[in-house]
Amino acid sequence: MKQWQSEGLVLRIRPYSESDKLVTLFTLEGGKVPALARGARKTRSKLAGVVDSFCRGDYLLYRGKTFTTIQQATLLEGFRRLREDVPLYFSALYLCELLEKVLEEHHPAEGVYRLALKALKALNDGELPRELVVRAFELLLLKELGYSPSLTGCVECGRREGPFLLSPAAGGLLCRGCLGQERGVALSSGSIALMQRILERGLGGLKVVRVPAAQLKELRQGSWDFFLYNTGIKNVKSRACLENLPG
Ligand SMILES: [Zn+2]
């Protein structure tokens, strides 16, 4: 099938020539797809407003010998605030970069696609605190990839009472007695409860809650260690920009 249609999200855009853009699309039907948008850098191009950062669109694609090209595009959701507000922009950029790193080309990943859409929408609409959306997205992405941390007790001895550390090598919580040579991030009981709530209910099931900064920090380090250990990804450039945002 040389021509195909799918809805998709724009994960990344690079200028390709004076008038073309090279786009990384995350399509519902075909997963991650690098595609050429001919003429999209020209302001009068029909593709200009649809092939833009974080946009959700319906795309008609043609698989050529060298490139897949975007032949037509219809905008479904623009997520405009994500391009106008600096903290939101860097948050969305980070989500998209993380997706680009973990997704394989031409492998459909419907669960991840739905999660990405929910996260971008929650950021754009301001339904939940920005940092909570980012931390929940990281954790739920780990779950979709099959690396959900085990949080019900120490994975070695079954102990239910903390204190616990989160160990990527163990795949979940370890008590101090079982930690041995493993590295781990200390998690408070509040952080463990928050992680469990996120994993059970998903983004849609989270109410607007005031999460202490210390818990968000623990989640940030805990999830990140799981990513590094399980996916082999190393350098996510926008993460540094995001973590250095004021406030
Ligand atoms: Zn133990």
Architecture of domain 3-77: Beta Barrel (2.40)
Residue listed under structure tokens 């200028």: 15
pLDDT category at 189 given cuts 50, 70, 90 is very high
Q: Torsion-angle region of residue 188: left (phi > 0), alpha (psi -120 to 50) or beta?
A: beta
pLDDT above 70 for 101: yes
In the reported structure, the alpha carbon of residue 176 is separated from the centroid of ligand 1 by a whole-number distance in angstroms of 7
- Average of pLDDT values for 219-247? 87
Cα gap 173→164, rounded to integer Å: 6
Q: What is the pLDDT of residue 173?
A: 96
* Greater pLDDT, 44 or 88: 88
In the reported structure, the alpha carbon of residue 126 is separated from the centroid of ligand 1 by a whole-number distance in angstroms of 40
In the reported structure, the alpha carbon of residue 211 is separated from the centroid of ligand 1 by a whole-number distance in angstroms of 28
In the reported structure, the alpha carbon of residue 219 is separated from the centroid of ligand 1 by a whole-number distance in angstroms of 21
Domain with CATH 1.20.1440.120 in the chain: 81-243
* Greater pLDDT, 67 or 96: 96
Q: What is the pLDDT of residue 112?
A: 98
Tokens in use for 244?
A: 């250095």
What is the helix (H) or strand (E) element at residue 234, kind and residue range?
Answer: none
Q: What is the pLDDT of residue 247?
A: 58
Task: Centre a 10 Å sphere on the Cβ of residue 96 and count the other Cβ atoms it contains.
Answer: 23
Q: What is the pLDDT of residue 151?
A: 97
In the reported structure, the alpha carbon of residue 11 is separated from the centroid of ligand 1 by a whole-number distance in angstroms of 41
Residue listed under structure tokens 């079982």: 178
Domain 81-243 carries which CATH code?
1.20.1440.120
Which of 133, 134, 182 is CA-nearest to residue 156?
182
In the reported structure, the alpha carbon of residue 162 is separated from the centroid of ligand 1 by a whole-number distance in angstroms of 9
In the reported structure, the alpha carbon of residue 164 is separated from the centroid of ligand 1 by a whole-number distance in angstroms of 9
In the reported structure, the alpha carbon of residue 158 is separated from the centroid of ligand 1 by a whole-number distance in angstroms of 6
pLDDT above 90 for 17: no
- Average of pLDDT values for 221-229? 91
Of all residues in the chain, what percent carry a pLDDT higher than 70? 98
Domain with CATH 2.40.50.140 in the chain: 3-77
Cα gap 71→2, rounded to integer Å: 12
pLDDT above 90 for 127: no
pLDDT above 90 for 157: yes
pLDDT above 70 for 1: no
Residue listed under structure tokens 């979940």: 172
In the reported structure, the alpha carbon of residue 185 is separated from the centroid of ligand 1 by a whole-number distance in angstroms of 15
Which of 71, 82, 79, 119 is CA-nearest to residue 99?
119
In the reported structure, the alpha carbon of residue 173 is separated from the centroid of ligand 1 by a whole-number distance in angstroms of 8
This prediction's pTM:
0.94
Count CA atoms within 13 Å of residue 174 on its CB side: 18
In the reported structure, the alpha carbon of residue 150 is separated from the centroid of ligand 1 by a whole-number distance in angstroms of 13
In the reported structure, the alpha carbon of residue 231 is separated from the centroid of ligand 1 by a whole-number distance in angstroms of 26
Highest mean pLDDT among 105-119, 171-185, 231-245: 105-119
